[in-house]
Structure 1
């Protein structure tokens, strides 16, 4: 593009790519649209009227000598945040938005302004053996003065009581009106077993980072130690359903375990919103029971209207890709963004909804927003690659999609993205190399989702084999089948084939 002066580009980075000898310089095509989105987003949310009864809970600082104790300090803050988020009279900034300030030396008044809250809770945790020191202070954003502070020197046995005391102190100092059932939420204990609780906090720590196999092991240990630990079962359900939905493991292997864990969580505590959300995805992508899927998603949101993942999954996967209700799906994604203005995943999922609904220019800008918040993630680069792909900016798309595949250690679904890209660029040799890689994985007995193989053959132009793999996906209850009807990244020739409509009819999608 160096000889096309009318096209403006911006250097992004230099990458060493697979099967390419020399480092490749990646440039981004600059459009006429304003793309400095995060700043405008900040301005939009900081300009909002700050509610008097509103708070952000920052991650507590790990003061222990062992850096591995970070999961514990993060977990204490997250548990307090989650408790407060159930209080109707208190606005609470979401976890992702609050935890973005971790490790940053920033004025708390500025934090409050950016998040649109009137108070900020910060603290620290020092854990050594069985002794525990937790400090907490509540800061008034308007003037930077303390509203309340406390230091707790206790034994580990008192960790649950400390969390309750901090939450109650916040409600008193912010003059939050507590309903009777909300008082019980604050003082509710989900386990009295400290060992199980620590495994649970480790599980949450890994789940938030999407280290799915690591979090799975921690949640398993938590429920082995305390079989009545509802929140640990909810974490298990989340991990299993995500592993199945994204084709990391076969659906028949993990989806029944997701249902079992979610049912256990609900049996022990039916006030939890998370297991209902997991069941929503389970019924949609494993049983194809659309009524149960929708009911469980709605139950999750009813229990906690501030549950961001509930709005994202229901709006994107169910309303958009299953029912084809793009505007309604977009509304739920907008709610998620309002709740978590700094959560890249909400923007990334909204991009897919907008793209599916045909709002291409708005979709591109939304992808840019999500990417700018999470430039180093696989999903951020993947979605930015698609954004450029659908503007036919294939060179820019290649930089992002190849980097995304590298970040995922060349996961199968990322490799299919490259086949889609290379065939569109008439780079048949490169597409063939990636296709051969997927075939070798299958031959070696490594798991590759049947839908993924179907898409790969579809992009390569072998439609008969694409349908062979779709039939196999049907027998396996492959999770991707639930989104097939409106999935925008499907091979065009596969969708246009007369057999596709007949295949889709077997899934009995809602009218």
Structure 2
């Protein structure tokens, strides 16, 4: 038998897909079909021809196109998004045709008019990661067009794509659609940070690799945060070895903050120092020093990156709010309201946080972080103020916010995590596990993701695994918000470590009452019934401890965990109505 030859070639690949196509077809099947057909004829086909591309195939609401060069495919993608945005002018938002575009360069197999191979698969995966109206490209494409096309590209770091063995570094591009949204105050705003190369203070150039590797790791991890814009590595590394005015460099790069530091290796010990600097004032936001044994250099590198990311997590959001507040502009923005809500939440002002979130979605009804946060805050409200649990519509409302957040942005780890926590608090553990699993695969060092995932695992019955994640997430931040301390205490309690849980709950000054109620359960489990009774006797008249206790038991996946909570509350002197544990329903 004669073996059939395989024809391979290297091509630039574009995959595009219509955002929310199923929803649009359900609302207006005939109108959506006609609009899409018109856009293909008047936008897609002319743009592809103008840039020398070939439409390989149409796939329902999607298209696969091949080009001969990276420049051609990127210019075509930019023009396609620009013309789609122009065609949407005057069209009601639900009827707009928005594209996500993924671009890759790769070796493909040609069979007839079709093409196959990993190069096509990667482009398809990148399309799913692109913003609505945006473009996502592989590092291969970025390297080919860098400096040749005047467009902003954001390094989004290494991403593990489904069914692709090796991680792929990806870049997002600011398009005409995104610029239009920014003008209308409906797009995302970013806090921009530049990470300067860490200085090797060891006295040996042979150790430069470690300082450079640590710098690159920090850039990669920071790039995972969706509301954080990180200046590209190639730009900041041009300052390597230079004596610079850090605040001035930050202003030159358009960065609100600069992270700088040094690394010193001496024998079997390593010392790293880092400082975060506000470029508008030159003031240090924070400074940290890390001393480690060098038993495993790569483990040490991971520990330092963990520590730096952990310390940056809250400090950046806190100081970003201050920077926005002193800005000369008076424009209202959803992002600014979201930052204010975050500050209120970290300070224990639940009502203030809800108010700022409501303002954010008033400004932009599709602002996914605010929608997700509102879903979580309303779910949390049922615990912090159990009388709110009597509101039959509250549970429905928080899930509606969660659904709107996912519809607006399914690729943001913060959104996914907030939605997962919301589902946990309404007793839908399977949905909580699903969304938190996606979030932690996308952003494994994000404190918010770690703590929420750990809390969810603990309530799902995986106590030690969940506790380990929450402990890791809380390790580096000395001023933890109430929700983090509550999660830490809950995970210790479920792991039957009542002393540690008691310490976690007791960390805050003047905590919400339900923290005190959890303290009482810990004391009771430790045999300190009199101390527990003092807490329960001081219960505010408006606080319904019975409802709170049953709400807590309801979200446990295991009946023995539900009984553990109820037993602790009963021992503390709380009268609880009859309770029958049933495994929380699937979403």
TM-score, normalised by the number of residues in structure 2: 0.40
Q: Greater relative contact order: 1 or 2 (C-alpha under 8 angstroms, separation 6 or more)? A: 1
More helix by proportion, 1 or 2?
1
Mark the structure with the bigger radius of gyration: 2
More strand by proportion, 1 or 2?
2
TM-score, normalised by the number of residues in structure 1: 0.45
